[in-house]
Amino acid sequence: MQPFRELQSLLGPPKFECEYVLDCGPEKLSLPPKVSQEKRRHFLHKPWGFELLALLLKYGSRSTEQCPSELCHEIPCPNDQIHKKRRIVGRVRCKNIRAECPSPTCGSPVLLPGRCCKVCPGQENNPDEKISVDLAREEEEKNSRHYGSLLTSESMPKTSLVATGRFYFRKKTLSYSFVTGQEFGHPKFISFLDENGNIVEEFLTQTNEFHNITGKICGSWNRLPRRYRRQLRKDLLFAQLTNAEGATISGRIGKHFGLSSEYFSGLLLPISGSGFGSATAIVSTDSTSSTAGGVHIMILMKDVFGPTDDQDVTLDVKLEAVMDNGERRIIEDTLRVPKVVPKDATTSDLKTGFDVLEMDALGRGNLKMTVSSRNFPHYGVEGYLGSRFSCDLVDSILSPVDEDSELDEIAAMDHQNSPQRGLAWLVPKTNGELDYHIQIEDLSSNEITALQIDNGKMSRRLLMTIPLKATFNGGEASGSIRISAKEMEQLFKDNLFLNVATLANERALRGKLTIQMMSEATETIRPILLKSNLSLVSGIAWTSINAHCRLNYEMRLIGPERKTESTLTLKDFPMKNLKNLAMMPGRQLALQTFRGPTVSGHQDNLHKLSVARLDGGDASFVIRHEGHYEFEIEGRIKDVQAPPDCLPRYVRNELELMPGFLSDLGEERPEVEKELAARCLYEGGIIYEDGAQWPASHTNCHMCFCQRGKVNCDPVVCPKIECSRPIIHKGACCPVCQEEVPIDRSRGCQIEGDDQFHVAGSRWHPYIPPSGFSRCATCECHADTLEVKCTHEHCPKLDCPKDDQVREDTLACCKTCQEDNSTSTFYDPSIDYDQKTQQDMGREFTDEDILDMGGCNWKGEVRTNGESWHPHILPFGEYTCVTCTCKEGKTKCQRKSCVKLNCIHKVTDPNGCCPRCAANSSEVKEAKRHRRQQKLKKLRRMRQKIREQKRLLVRQQKAGSQD
């Protein structure tokens, strides 16, 4: 107090409140002109000279509207400096305290000289002395980026349809988190409203893993418009939740003291049976002492007051702590609410102190809070306090080196080639639990002796440890713990570490627990470890793909300070079984360059094949750094699910085998789609053209063929043989007569269209896709000349009408009459089949045969079963945007489905069916011109429609006047 007393002796008696913020360099400290130069020098040379940061100075003045003009003399301030745009800035904060003056009880109050508040004539006490202004609190509420809200139902105030929200604004993004009461359930829509009740933005909520664990609804409003930023700062925005039943709750988004230092929260619902009131608690703690902790509770409440509670309302507050041994402790206090805000949340705060056991109950979620009106006890709310409601996530990089290790230390340890690395992430839950997940690579679970969380203090008196009981399975462990309020406070302040001890080293792996807010990148709740066996630099990465096909990422590295830039690259590669084909090689996309240990951002317009590879886990992040300490670390991306609209139409297995189908921008190329889609992928990654046939390798004695991208396989049909003791040679499928077995099996025949080798002297049924093996034809490889001759079975001429001719069996070669079933369809040796030699290895199918096999008759044209074609539409000709397919006698035509584009400017090729993103400036101009034309056409149609309606109205009026 010595500085204050000496300064007060210079300034005179206190009559005005003003705050000096002397956090500036050579700025000006103002003192009254009556202070002599000698006293000024004496004051400046004191050892405590400018320890007056945020000190309330009281001095005399006639004006209370602004800081007195008398204090204009300049004294340099040599203390802390704040640089802002190369200028050194100092501030003097003042407040007009007239608004805080109590209302006089008389009708004609007077303002005495040197006073700020009016008093009644003859009143001796000075109300100015009783006014205290907390400028630091007002400063926090004014400049804070944290907001809170209490959402209730205006139409049904006596229900438990309640929720509370927390908001944080940073870099044009408003991050939000909501916790709802059990009766309201999970919201379907989150809406933001202006002061007039108009919806300015709305989001559709979806459940994710983080919501399932914590019960919190998280999200963000990106690129908040400037006009809504102003409304947010003025507390003129409202939040509204709508559930599946259509019920809505809403509340004002406002700044409240304590949100920036909130560690615990609570949602207070009506006391059982009352049905009145709702509140949310914002709890801050200060556990600097080892035996006790200070607790500040800010309460936002609504409908807790009775019908006549409007001013000077007394509230009873009860805090009930339940210990682990079953002991209950009750702390009772009262709150005085000067004024109740109708139809809005009323705020009041409570300050108290907890001992060690009570702080432990608060951290473990075992502290129950009850608030009720003294005049109306049945108007009250209650609920348990737990971890704060903001969407927080804690992660840690487990490494043999500390995060603040020097470059030389890491370079020396690199030679030890210690590949052990790991990750840990923790999720605070609203009930006080802390879910943890630990992932360690290249370290056997048998070697781990202990897992613990500590505060890194070297002194035994100050050391704080939290043991974790976890069982590793495959290098991963998970579980949940409950910690005290003091430990939770240290966790939110980033003062805790996770330590992994082994038999050989008590600090084998160690990492700092870092708190961060949930974002689009961390929605997967599954981080990625970035590492290299050649360097001890490691990192953690979070990534996800949102509904707009945007890749979001956040990364943090530990290691030496890097003064040069590092490069972040996204690398993807083909499927494991297709790497040797080299048809669609891996792609590398440079995301950004950065300095320092952290990097975050997003990437739009990803190639669709890259999105498919990301979705399949065949991609990784690579960070390279060149300089004095070079390194390259990489992390495999797993558990990232891409929305269906972001994936290509074809499955990835087919897409990898269709080079050229996707352009460099990732858009489909219709001109090559038909050709590429007709190819077939067979076992082992072999590609066959449409119409090709080959012996099956996945099973014995089968032949396969490719038909418009689909593989069909049929069992081999063996020709009939005439011998008593046939044999099957090793590796063959069909039996042969023993005397026909050739001596030299290296000689044989091979015909065009059939890649199969036929041994000399063998006989077989030709394979004719898509019909399969033709039982009505037999081919033979002549043993001497190696010529192939194929003969077709002769069918007798039937004398019955055509309608009576039937095929008794689908595999039969000839038709028979229904009345006469004795007609033979077997081989007749009296017929000379040599004259029936077939050169095309099969007879021609008639239209009736095609229709009998499931074909279609479409506009006079006969189409085979499974055939696809583009229809001809007069006068345009073939319309490639529509594809017709014949299946089991039915024709189905369907327009080509176009994928949703995320770009603004779209163009359509002359022969294309679907629009694509503009690739250059000329196409952008064309897209804009086309859009203007479309708007003009739409405007002309609207005008034409209006003119027609006017003409119709005039006719009706004329007809009515004539009547």
Same domain, 396 and 329: no
Same domain, 264 and 377: yes
C-beta separation of 350 from 266 below 8 A: no
* 320 vs 361: CA distance, rounded Å: 9
C-beta separation of 605 from 626 below 8 A: no
Give me the percent of the chain exceeding a pLDDT of 70. 76
* 237 vs 158: CA distance, rounded Å: 25
Asked if the structure places residue 6 within a domain, the reply is: no
Q: What is the CATH number of the domain that holds 687?
A: 2.10.70
Same domain, 163 and 235: yes
DSSP assignment of 119-156 equals B-TT--S-GGGG----HHHHHHHHH--EEEEEEB-SS-
Task: Output the pLDDT for position 822.
Answer: 41
Asked if the structure places residue 537 within a domain, the reply is: no
Task: Please determine, for residue 191, whether its predicted confidence score (pLDDT) is greater than 50.
Answer: yes
Question: Which pair of tokens denotes residue 675?
Answer: 């050709």
Question: Which pair of tokens denotes residue 56?
Answer: 């309330």
Asked if the structure places residue 699 within a domain, the reply is: yes
Asked if the structure places residue 936 within a domain, the reply is: no
Task: Output the pLDDT for position 366.
Answer: 92
Confidence bin at 70 (pLDDT 50/70/90): very low
Please give the mean pLDDT across all residues of the chain: 77
* 809 vs 825: CA distance, rounded Å: 11
Question: In the chain, count of helices (H) and strands (E)?
Answer: 13, 66
- Choosing from 487, 518, 549, the residue where a domain stops is 518
Task: Output the pLDDT for position 63.
Answer: 32
Task: Output the pLDDT for position 591.
Answer: 94
Task: Output the pLDDT for position 20.
Answer: 37
Task: Output the pLDDT for position 562.
Answer: 65
Q: pLDDT tens digit string along 110-164?
A: 988 888 888 998 888 888 887 777 666 666 666 678 999 999 988 776 677 899 9
Q: Which residue has the higher pLDDT, 895 or 142?
A: 895
Task: Output the pLDDT for position 765.
Answer: 79
Question: Which pair of tokens denotes residue 867?
Answer: 């055939």
Question: Which pair of tokens denotes residue 929?
Answer: 């011109």
State the residue for tokens 């570490």. 497
Q: How many domains does the chain have?
A: 6
**57-66, 599-608, 770-779, range with the lowest pLDDT:** 57-66
Same domain, 427 and 511: yes
- Choosing from 501, 518, 535, the residue where a domain stops is 518
C-alpha atoms less than 13 angstroms from C-alpha of 518 in its C-beta half-sphere: 28
Residue 284: closest CA among 270, 269, 267, 266: 266
Asked if the structure places residue 552 within a domain, the reply is: no
* 911 vs 901: CA distance, rounded Å: 19
Residue 348: closest CA among 252, 258, 267: 258
Q: pLDDT tens digit string along 795-842?
A: 888 888 877 788 776 667 788 887 544 433 333 444 443 433 333 333
Same domain, 350 and 442: no
Q: pLDDT tens digit string along 336-360?
A: 888 787 778 888 889 888 888 889 9
Residue 716: closest CA among 761, 752, 758: 758
H or E stretch at 917: strand 916-917
Residue 566: closest CA among 605, 522, 624, 503: 624
Residue 396's DSSP bridge partners are 424
Q: Which residue has the higher pLDDT, 397 or 730?
A: 397
Average pLDDT over residues 483-507: 89
Average pLDDT over residues 242-266: 91
Task: Output the pLDDT for position 317.
Answer: 93
Task: Please determine, for residue 22, whether its predicted confidence score (pLDDT) is greater than 60.
Answer: no
Task: Output the pLDDT for position 60.
Answer: 35
- Choosing from 875, 895, 915, the residue where a domain stops is 895
Query: Using CB atoms within 10 A of its CB, is residue 536 exposed (0-12), middle (13-18) or buried (19+)?
Result: buried
Average pLDDT over residues 779-784: 82
**131-140, 708-717, 916-925, range with the lowest pLDDT:** 131-140
H or E stretch at 544: strand 535-545
Q: pLDDT tens digit string along 513-570?
A: 999 988 888 887 789 999 987 788 899 999 999 888 899 999 999 876 667 889 999 9
Q: Hey, what amino acid is at 752?
A: E
Give the number of other CB atoms < 10 A from CB of residue 547. 10
C-beta separation of 463 from 455 below 8 A: yes
Task: Please determine, for residue 106, whether its predicted confidence score (pLDDT) is greater than 80.
Answer: yes
Same domain, 309 and 425: no
Q: Which residue has the higher pLDDT, 887 or 553?
A: 553
Q: pLDDT tens digit string along 666-681?
A: 666 665 666 666 777 7
C-beta separation of 31 from 52 below 8 A: no
First to last CA, the chain: 100
Q: Hey, what amino acid is at 43?
A: F
* 416 vs 409: CA distance, rounded Å: 12
Backbone conformation region of residue 786, classed left if phi is above 0, alpha if psi is from -120 to 50, else beta? left
C-beta separation of 349 from 279 below 8 A: no
Task: Output the pLDDT for position 863.
Answer: 84
Asked if the structure places residue 509 within a domain, the reply is: yes
Same domain, 355 and 469: no
* 153 vs 247: CA distance, rounded Å: 8
Same domain, 174 and 240: yes
Same domain, 278 and 310: yes
Residue 152: closest CA among 303, 22, 342, 272: 303
Same domain, 355 and 436: no
Q: Which domain holds residue 309?
A: 258-385
Task: Output the pLDDT for position 842.
Answer: 36
Say how many residues make up the chain.
Answer: 963
Confidence bin at 369 (pLDDT 50/70/90): very high
Question: Which pair of tokens denotes residue 209?
Answer: 């893993």
Average pLDDT over residues 756-774: 76
Task: Please determine, for residue 843, whether its predicted confidence score (pLDDT) is greater than 70.
Answer: no
Task: Please determine, for residue 267, whether its predicted confidence score (pLDDT) is greater than 90.
Answer: yes
* 850 vs 515: CA distance, rounded Å: 70
Give the number of other CB atoms < 10 A from CB of residue 393. 21
Q: What is the CATH number of the domain that holds 460?
A: 2.60.40
Asked if the structure places residue 412 within a domain, the reply is: no
Q: What is the CATH number of the domain that holds 348?
A: 2.60.40.150
Question: Which pair of tokens denotes residue 347?
Answer: 């705020």
Phi and psi for 645 in degrees, rounded to 5? -70, -20
Task: Output the pLDDT for position 775.
Answer: 74
Task: Please determine, for residue 425, whether its predicted confidence score (pLDDT) is greater than 60.
Answer: yes
Confidence bin at 54 (pLDDT 50/70/90): very low
Confidence bin at 290 (pLDDT 50/70/90): low
Q: pLDDT tens digit string along 599-613?
A: 999 998 888 888 988
Average pLDDT over residues 575-581: 51
Same domain, 214 and 271: no
Residue 574: closest CA among 616, 625, 630: 616
Residue 902, helix vs strand vs coil: coil
Task: Output the pLDDT for position 115.
Answer: 84
Q: What is the C-alpha R_g of the chain? A: 42
Residue 328: closest CA among 337, 319, 336: 319
Residue 132, helix vs strand vs coil: coil
Asked if the structure places residue 941 within a domain, the reply is: no
Task: Give the full edge-to-edge strand order of the sheet including 777-781.
Answer: 763-764, 777-781, 788-792, 837-838
Same domain, 696 and 723: no
Confidence bin at 743 (pLDDT 50/70/90): low
Backbone conformation region of residue 568, classed left if phi is above 0, alpha if psi is from -120 to 50, else beta? beta
Task: Output the pLDDT for position 112.
Answer: 87
CA distances to 147, 243, 570 from 204, rounded to whole Å, are 22, 11, 30
Residue 754: closest CA among 816, 666, 694: 694
